[in-house]
């Protein structure tokens, strides 16, 4: 799927899983949804020169080249439905321990989400290296400043990565058969859907947006917050 479809599906997955997410309060809930959305871009960091690996210039491009070699190529290791969530989750588990590394991880998630969703964001700041760095690190710092340490980060990372793999599994290119591909390179594709088709752009992407809005409304305090207004409107009618 296209980058922004992945980010949107990650946001929807983050919002849908809020009732089970180990987060409390609106700030942490927002961070959970944002992290799931951004981390749904993570598996495509497996080839240097891609939009997401260009995000922070060499800071993201060099590691992404290394990730690609480690994963044995684009759409292989980082798209393994079993190994990838485990590997990225373990990495996040180590990072969630210290303030600076959770800041880095949250900033990475926000940066990736901004980069993927640039077409709905006014201006072009988030697409420049400096603009993206300022927005994502500022946002991550703001979130971390208003919530307890995010011990839940590994779960959000695993959820985002898994959502990405599920998204690619329904395209013709498919994803590697988990673990088996290490021995014998074989792939799994659930549908003959091509990446970037009208169906993806006109049906899937808007569906993810609607799902995100609905789940945020249903799973957060938002419902209670607007309840008096609904009541008011009803009494008027
Ligand atoms: Zn992918």
Between 99-116 and 25-39, two packed helices, what is the crossing angle to 10 degrees?
60
Q: How far is the CA of 155 from the centre of ligand 1 (A)?
A: 19
DSSP 149: -
Structural domain harbouring 166: 3-236
Q: How far is the CA of 41 from the centre of ligand 1 (A)?
A: 8
Q: How far is the CA of 164 from the centre of ligand 1 (A)?
A: 6
pTM: 0.90
Residues 32, 154: Cα–Cα separation, whole Å: 11
pLDDT at 48: 84
Residues 101, 94: Cα–Cα separation, whole Å: 8
Q: How far is the CA of 171 from the centre of ligand 1 (A)?
A: 10
Which residue pairs, CB below 8 angstroms and at least 24 apart, start in 210-214? 211/12, 211/15, 211/16, 212/8, 212/11, 212/12, 212/14, 212/15, 212/33, 214/15
Q: Write out the chain's pLDDT in tens, 237 residues.
A: 888 899 999 999 999 999 999 998 899 999 999 999 999 999 999 988 787 888 899 989 998 999 999 999 889 999 999 999 999 999 999 998 899 999 999 999 999 988 888 877 888 888 889 999 999 999 999 999 999 889 999 999 999 999 999 999 999 889 999 999 999 988 988 888 888 888 888 899 999 999 999 999 999 888 788 888 888 888 887
pLDDT at 173: 86
Counting the structural domains of the chain, the total is 1
Q: How far is the CA of 174 from the centre of ligand 1 (A)?
A: 9
Q: How far is the CA of 11 from the centre of ligand 1 (A)?
A: 16
User: Phi/psi zone of residue 196: left (φ > 0), alpha (ψ -120 to 50 degrees), beta?
Assistant: left
pLDDT at 160: 97
Q: How far is the CA of 44 from the centre of ligand 1 (A)?
A: 5
Tell how far CA 192 is from the center of its chain.
24
Q: What are residue 176's phi and psi, to 5 degrees?
A: -65, 150
> Do the Cβ atoms of 102 and 144 come closer than 8 Å?
yes
pLDDT at 163: 97
Residues 2, 195: Cα–Cα separation, whole Å: 6
pLDDT at 233: 86
Q: How far is the CA of 35 from the centre of ligand 1 (A)?
A: 17
Q: How far is the CA of 194 from the centre of ligand 1 (A)?
A: 13
Q: How far is the CA of 4 from the centre of ligand 1 (A)?
A: 11
DSSP 171: B
pLDDT at 78: 95
């Amino acid at each position: 799927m296209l980058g922004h479809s992945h980010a949107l599906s990650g946001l929807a997955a983050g919002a849908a899983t809020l009732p089970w997410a180990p987060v409390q309060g609106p700030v942490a809930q927002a961070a959970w949804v944002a992290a799931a959305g951004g981390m749904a871009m993570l598996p495509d960091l497996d080839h240097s020169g891609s939009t997401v690996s260009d995000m922070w210039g060499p800071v993201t491009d060099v590691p992404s080249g290394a990730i690609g070699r480690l994963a044995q190529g684009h759409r292989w290791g980082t798209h393994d439905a079993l190994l990838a969530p485990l590997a990225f989750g373990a990495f996040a588990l180590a990072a969630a321990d210290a303030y600076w590394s959770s800041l880095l991880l949250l900033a990475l998630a926000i940066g990736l989400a901004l980069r993927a969703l640039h077409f709905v964001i006014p201006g072009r700041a988030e697409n420049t290296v400096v603009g993206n760095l300022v927005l994502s690190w500022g946002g991550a710092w703001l979130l971390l400043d208003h919530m307890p340490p995010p011990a839940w980060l590994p779960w959000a990372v695993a959820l985002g990565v898994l959502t990405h793999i599920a998204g690619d599994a329904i395209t013709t290119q498919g994803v590697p058969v988990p673990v088996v591909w290490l021995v014998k390179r074989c792939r799994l594709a659930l549908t003959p859907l091509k990446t970037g088709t009208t169906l993806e752009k006109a049906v899937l992407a808007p569906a993810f947006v609607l799902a995100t809005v609905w789940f945020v409304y249903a799973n957060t305090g938002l419902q209670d917050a607007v309840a008096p207004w609904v009541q008011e409107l009803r009494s008027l009618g």
